[in-house]
Structure 1
Amino acid sequence: MAELPRLVLAREHIQQGLTPKMLARRCATGALIRLRHGVYVDGAVWGSLQPWDQYRLRVQAAAETFTAPTVFARHSAASVWGIPTVGHHHPVQALTFQNGGGRSRAGVRRHYAEAASVKVFRHDGLLVTGRVRTVLDLAAFTPFAEAIVPLDHVLRPDAARKLPPLSKEQLRAEIEGNYPAAAARRITVAIDFADPLSASAGESYSRALIHVAGFETPTLQHEIRDAGGLIGYSDYHWDSARIAGEFDGVEKYLKPEYLKGRTPSQAVVDEKYREDRIRATGRTVVRWVWADLMMPGRLERKLTASGVPRRRTRSAR
């Protein structure tokens, strides 16, 4: 996550040398972006942020406006922990411990929880649900394919934030007594499917969509060799059909840990050479990007056209 820019708070306008009229004028010109009542951010900086960093800043803006302690949850807690989720237009979400069901107020969607069942953490200056509760809530209340993304993530160590991996046993231990039976079943199914071998949010979401669409389960991070030695590891591999699947996220061509000293253009050339070697082994290679995942049915059509096999029904086994 990028370092968050400083928020401009209306209540501090005197210290910052700004009058209410100046704030309004800067908003009108786009020099400032109003995140919520009394909270602004530099317009140019806001436009340079990735959507997930913009969402994290909206959570921070909400925290700046509340005087009572507020525990952020679900997608909002995930953004604070650096846990990836699918989608960019989630509301800011927090808990309420007043037994009246969920409610929305002041631009924040609140979800009821029993205070005794929630372990509250202070992280990055905010009160949030813990990593376990956060991913379990997402598994309980978001679609299966979306729920796999945060679950896969927490099963891997988070080196950037120096957070250890969670185990499936840790996750399962927190289900009983905290969720209705139907939600507990959804969580259990998602945990069973989760796999730390999916190395990114895009790979996790792809794998879940592949499963939901009824395709055979691929091998993850499959080693591929030729006469010259190791070619690399394919994100997905269907042995019976000799098909390698590759999810192309922007990280592969932009982030230093993937570039390893190369320029983005050299990374593209190297990837093309790698794919040519894989095809030379007699395999089919099918590639997709985030846009394919966000358009319903597009990934399924790509895999079908490439010959990826479907799972057999029980009666045909």
Structure 2
Amino acid sequence: MRSLPKLILAKDLSLIGGDSRKLSEASKAGKLVRIRHGVYVDAQKWALLESWDRYALRVEAAAETFTSATVFSHHSAASIHDIPTILGRQPIHALSSYAGGGRSRAGVRRHYVSDGHQEAEETNGFLVTGRVRTALDIAASVPFAEAVVPVDFLLSPGRRRNPVTRDELLNAIDARYSKAAAKRVAAVVQFAVKNSGSPGESYCRGLVHLAGFAAPELQYEVRTKVGVVYTDYYWKGVKVVGEFDGREKYMKPEYLKGRTPSQVVIEEKDRENAIRATGRSVFRLVWSDLTVGKLERELVAAGVPRRRRASLGHPNS
């Protein structure tokens, strides 16, 4: 589990005879941030957190305030499992056996699950849906490209000691999903790969597919004068290399590997120049490019080919 600032709980202060009103006063003064009723965090530390860490703290805050056993699911379970997702403005997700479930209240989205399907395991001090169920539940409820992110991650042997297999995922698509949802989930699982380099690359690849462009080769090996480099995307027929610059590359320790962000920028530029020297063209995408209209313009300008229509038949037929 990631290292996060310690939550300050009004109930804990009350237990030792303190005045919990002081927490509210500190929040109004800008010293604390109230992230849920009765739950605060140091304002300076909160300001330094990335969106995924803020969401993780919201999940923890919910766990501290719920008064009954709760199974976290969807993006909330993914946060606890350290499975990357596209968050946006996600609520807290939890399962409910109450038939009136499925509504949001106090920032919590309850998902109805019959008693026989309330699978749960304990992870990092939380009750959560398992990794496979978590990824499939997300895939059933979000757009295609967003769904690719957690499924790619679970297939990857480089980020988990026990990666799951495609068959494990497909076999877990059961009757709890409608036929339409099951079909969507299966399409994501079939599209997913085990060699995506980052969550951003997975999301971008999904959008490239939806925009109708040819699938790239991933982690393609290019031999340059400075050594072998691996590209995020490569379209071999047109010698076009695509690179995705996600924030994680410049922010997260697992990507920095002891380097400073400025060192990473310089290394990326040198790497790009080395690829160009082999006669290949290179274009870069960032998060702000990932809107359908803008992404399509960038891909066309770079010379990325469109996906071959099935109606054309096999090129050698």
Tell me the distance in 2 between the aligned counterparts of 1:157 and 1:98.
38
1:233 aligns with 2:252: no
Counterpart of 2:289 in structure 1 is 292
Counterpart of 1:56 in structure 2 is 56
Tell me the distance in 1 between the aligned counterparts of 2:213 and 2:95.
38
- Range with bigger deviation, 138-147 or 93-102: 93-102
User: SS at 2:176's partner residue?
Assistant: coil
User: SS at 2:140's partner residue?
Assistant: helix
Contact 2:240 2:282 survives alignment (8 Å): yes
Counterpart of 1:34 in structure 2 is 34
User: With structure 1 as the length reference, what TM-score do the two structures score?
Assistant: 0.92
CA change 1:262–1:163 in 2 (3 A) is closer
User: SS at 1:141's partner residue?
Assistant: coil
1:304 aligns with 2:300: yes
User: With structure 2 as the length reference, what TM-score do the two structures score?
Assistant: 0.92
- CA offsets 1:3-60 (integer angstroms, 9 cap, x no match): 1222111112245674233122101111111111111111111111111010011111
Tell me the distance in 2 between the aligned counterparts of 1:40 and 1:267.
35
Contact 2:75 2:87 survives alignment (8 Å): no
Paired residues for 1:260-279 under 5 Å? 260-279=257-276
CA change 1:45–1:190 in 2 (3 A) is same
Contact 1:72 1:95 survives alignment (8 Å): yes
Tell me the distance in 2 between the aligned counterparts of 1:259 and 1:76.
26
* Structure 2 residues without counterparts, runs of 5 or longer: none
1:242 aligns with 2:246: no
CA change 1:296–1:154 in 2 (3 A) is same
Compute the displacement of 1:276 (Å).
1.2
Contact 1:156 1:164 survives alignment (8 Å): no
* Structure 1 residues without counterparts, runs of 5 or longer: none
Counterpart of 2:190 in structure 1 is 192
Tell me the distance in 1 between the aligned counterparts of 2:310 and 2:253.
46
CA change 1:9–1:287 in 2 (3 A) is same
Tell me the distance in 1 between the aligned counterparts of 2:178 and 2:58.
30
Contact 2:157 2:194 survives alignment (8 Å): no
Compute the displacement of 1:284 (Å).
1.1
- Range with bigger deviation, 31-40 or 254-263: 254-263
CA change 1:255–1:76 in 2 (3 A) is closer
CA change 1:57–1:262 in 2 (3 A) is closer
- CA offsets 1:215-271 (integer angstroms, 9 cap, x no match): 001111111124x37340111000111100001123434445444554433332222
1:248 maps to a residue whose letter is D
- CA offsets 1:95-145 (integer angstroms, 9 cap, x no match): 111223412233311011122123201111111111011000011111100
Tell me the distance in 2 between the aligned counterparts of 1:38 and 1:263.
38
Tell me the distance in 2 between the aligned counterparts of 1:67 and 1:80.
19
Tell me the distance in 1 between the aligned counterparts of 2:21 and 2:65.
20
Counterpart of 2:70 in structure 1 is 70
Tell me the distance in 2 between the aligned counterparts of 1:261 and 1:35.
32
Count of residues in correspondence between the two structures: 313
Compute the displacement of 1:82 (Å).
0.6
User: SS at 2:84's partner residue?
Assistant: coil
